[in-house]
Structure 1
Amino acid sequence: MNPGCDHPEGPRKTRVSLFLVLWLLGACAPTPPTPSPRTERADAVVSGTGAPEDAAVVALLARRARCTGEPLTLLCTGALISPDVVLTAAHCLEIFGTDGAYEIFLGTKLLPEPEPEGRFVRVAQAVRHPGYERTSHANDAALLRLAKPVNQSPLPLPPPGKAPLEPGQSARVVGFGDTKDASALAGQRRQGTLVLTAVEAGGFRAGPAPSMSCVGDSGGPVLVRGADGRELLVGVTASGDVACREEAFNVRVDALLEDFIQPFLAGQLEPRGPVLPLESLCAAPCTSAAQCPAGLACESVAEGGAARCLQPALQEGNYGAVCAEDAQCGAGSVCARLEPEGEDACRCFTPCTPAPLPEEASGCTGAPGASPWVWGLGAWLLLATRSRRGGPSGGAGALSRRGGACACADRRCG
């Protein structure tokens, strides 16, 4: 667990994202090039230790579409600041955008699979700070509203503009990112100590003492003790050096409170009206996401066609009987995940348009109904990975060191 949490978009993050894309495309793409040091990573705190008590620190993942055979895709780290709101880094949303499908993990061990030690909750809304600057990591913050509140105490926030920050001060960083230690894998919640080296209006810099944030730690919390002895969430890991050894840049939370965090906390999800039946989504068009069950998107796949409730990775289709694996579903159907967990989370998914028979298909085939969105994402990720290899400082810095799927803009990005 390196204190440089701003690496979520770094090498590890890129590797994980590419792995997800290859799975979506049927694992037909050529082996991607090795990520460069500039890529933001999804690493755990370097020179850190386990953090079993930090239950309010969560992992951010791409939402899973399948119930079996789909790898977990760690993007970044985040922190609960209310029972249904998570604070993370804006660059963690670079690849899938604010309309992307996400979920969070609450627990100490997400990876390695197959048995994460914790629970998953779907993200219903994501917003980036309107002043976010990708290259400088200014205002590199995002807020996620969960589909349902969790029974976990959030981290306390500092007063607006009054965080107790000064050079030489000790701070604690927590994240799920890279450890730079082959015997201590990423994907496990770890914590370590930093020392503040410089304090600015919108952020602060920190060095190892002896820990550092790294790829996958992006979006994770930086904590300091206030006058009353309580730890306060004063920073969001945003970026750092490629090696996760020298310096991490963190966004100041107290600078975001009045214009970004507090207004979001005061809001709430729009009430849901009647939703379309899962078994008739192929026949029933939608006009807004509020009509779609389980947080599915209301989108039109064909130009000029009616909008349907769907998951972009699966396209249009109906959801039938509860299942645990693909073998329990009929020919042409798969066991798809509607919600992160629960008895009814997994149901047999049947595409509205049957996939072509093997003899009719040419080349590789992927998940049912692979869309142009998926192919576009794969091409973008492969190009982005190659372009990052050319220089020493491309990508979404903060996440590059710890995360694994963010765009990289700091020295750690690859």
Structure 2
Amino acid sequence: MAKRSTASARDPTGCQPPGAVALVAFLMLACLPVSGPEESTRPDSQAQGVVQGTDAPGDGAAVALVARRTRCAGEPPVLLCSGALIAPDVVLTAAHCLALFGEAGPYEVFLGPSLPPESGAPGPEGRFVRVTRAVAHPSYAPATHAWDAALLRLATPVEGVPPYRLPGGQDPPLVEGSLVRVVGYGDTKDAARPSGQRRQGLLQVTGVQAASFQAGPSPAMTCVGDSGGPVLGGPQGNEVLWGLTVSGDVACRSEAVQVRADALADFLQPFLDEAAPPPAPSPLPLDALCQEACATDAECPAGLLCVAAGDAPARCLLPALQAGTYGASCSEDAACGAQGVCARLEVEGDDACRCFTPCEAISDPLPSNGGSPSVSGGGCAAAPGSLGTVALAVLMGLLRRQPRCRIPAGRSKSDSA
């Protein structure tokens, strides 16, 4: 039976990445129903969206997980999954939502009723927040979706949006026959209502296990893109987050499978209790990133990673761009000259978008008789005209956020999965 995936094979820059088909195929194979460690695998299910549902204007804590946008104009957000805000700076989602880019991947969450069609500011009804850390459950089993949960740390706390309430001892137990409400941004099976809209619907619990539960339509059903979204129960005004959507039948008609939030307590609480990290040291200047090497991500301006290619010094860069420098604020590529693009360092703010110029496009100012220091390529492999051709999915498959990220010498950024 065919399987569906919650992820997109397209690079957020709009390029079709080499090797992305293999990565997405892997993600599609991961879309099997969840089960606890003692439960059997069923081969006839897949990842999940809200069909036969309605708009969900009151669910501000339901979020969309998207691939991080690196361009400031003309780049529609790429929906990966849904998620649930459980603390002002913490989102709970499904672990398989991280399969395409990995835990160190470039993620943002969107809070609002509808994803904007392009990467510009979504307006008063929504906002993006950058993800600084993603952690999958240590016992997550992709083949069965056992413990299919992940936590995301946000760059800034979300104000004015009450997080979902986690189950407590005062809540009645989840039992077969209970009605639950699902929320997500996924497929609606209605061409007039595309994915990317926050929707809700009722399901009825059909089976309960120690770590998961199943539900059928009443009359709604989750579908592709709703993975990681909240599954809620209890009276209106005092709902509890009973679980998150992880899989279901291929037609999005008969079965949805959820991971139980109360079974995740040992995973959730230590992450929620983590102390805020110490203030980062002053980062390297944006206009000197072709000259200055880095050793850790903490030395890079917010949103940039410290990456080395082969034996070249590590440089601060955006995942989908080569090493380069950042200049004046901008809103479109036309403001950045023939060899520059308007790149997104942060998701909002006056300085979020800055003109980016790759290292190799910067002429060497060092004359034979001395002068200013030479600006080397610093590991840049692409000519200015090929900006964005390095596939984000492939590049992020190579990046592992250690104290120092390194791409193996002798290999290009596009020949490894």
| TM-score interval, smaller chain | 0.7 to 0.9
SS of aligned partner of 2:252: coil
Q: How many residues align?
A: 358
Tell me by how many angstroms 1:163 deviates: 6.3
Tell me by how many angstroms 1:307 deviates: 1.0
Give distance in 2, aligned partners of 1:183 and 1:328: 36
Residues 23, 366 of structure 1: 8 Å contact kept:
no
> Residue 323 of structure 1 aligns with which residue?
330
> Residue 56 of structure 2 aligns with which residue?
51
Tell me by how many angstroms 1:37 deviates: 9.1
Q: 1:223 to 1:120 in 2, by over 3 A?
A: same
> Residue 308 of structure 1 aligns with which residue?
315
Residues 56, 199 of structure 2: 8 Å contact kept:
yes
Tell me by how many angstroms 1:296 deviates: 1.0
Tell me by how many angstroms 1:50 deviates: 0.4
Tell me by how many angstroms 1:331 deviates: 2.1
Query: Between Structure 1 and Structure 2, whose CA radius of gyration is higher?
Result: 2
Tell me by how many angstroms 1:182 deviates: 1.0
1:6-405 maps to which residues of 2 (within 5 A)? 10-11=4-5, 13-14=6-7, 17-20=8-11, 23-24=14-15, 44-113=49-118, 116=122, 117-151=125-159, 152-159=161-168, 164-225=173-234, 230-257=238-265, 259-271=266-278, 272-300=280-308, 302-354=309-361, 368=387, 370-371=389-390, 375=394
Amino acid at match of 1:100: G
Q: 1:169 to 1:69 in 2, by over 3 A?
A: same
Give distance in 2, aligned partners of 1:341 and 1:135: 38
Give distance in 2, aligned partners of 1:153 and 1:70: 30
SS of aligned partner of 1:294: coil
Measured against aligned partners, the alpha-carbon deviations of 1:310-334 in whole angstroms (never above 9, x if no partner) come to 1120021111100000000022110
Stretches (4+) displaced over 3 A = 27-32, 34-44, 111-117, 160-163, 364-367, 369-378
Q: 1:161 to 1:133 in 2, by over 3 A?
A: farther
Q: Which runs of 5+ in 2 are unaligned?
A: 32-45, 363-382, 398-417
Tell me by how many angstroms 1:30 deviates: 12
SS of aligned partner of 1:293: coil
Give distance in 2, aligned partners of 1:366 and 1:22: 14
Tell me by how many angstroms 1:23 deviates: 2.1
Q: Identity of counterpart residues, as a percentage?
A: 55
> Which deviates more from structure 2 when the two are superposed, residues 368-377 or residues 307-316?
368-377
SS of aligned partner of 1:23: coil
Q: 1:253 to 1:310 in 2, by over 3 A?
A: same
TM-score by length of 1: 0.79
Give distance in 2, aligned partners of 1:343 and 1:22: 22
Residues 24, 313 of structure 1: 8 Å contact kept:
no
SS of aligned partner of 1:126: strand
Q: 1:31 to 1:128 in 2, by over 3 A?
A: closer
Q: 1:30 to 1:55 in 2, by over 3 A?
A: closer
Amino acid at match of 2:350: E
Q: 1:306 to 1:373 in 2, by over 3 A?
A: farther
Tell me by how many angstroms 1:264 deviates: 0.1
Residues 83, 228 of structure 2: 8 Å contact kept:
yes
Measured against aligned partners, the alpha-carbon deviations of 1:339-359 in whole angstroms (never above 9, x if no partner) come to 11111110000111239xxxx
TM-score by length of 2: 0.78
Q: 1:215 to 1:366 in 2, by over 3 A?
A: farther
Give distance in 1, aligned partners of 2:137 and 2:126: 29
Give distance in 2, aligned partners of 1:42 and 1:191: 17
Tell me by how many angstroms 1:306 deviates: 1.1
Give distance in 2, aligned partners of 1:229 and 1:146: 26
Give distance in 1, aligned partners of 2:172 and 2:389: 47
Tell me by how many angstroms 1:10 deviates: 2.6
Amino acid at match of 1:179: T
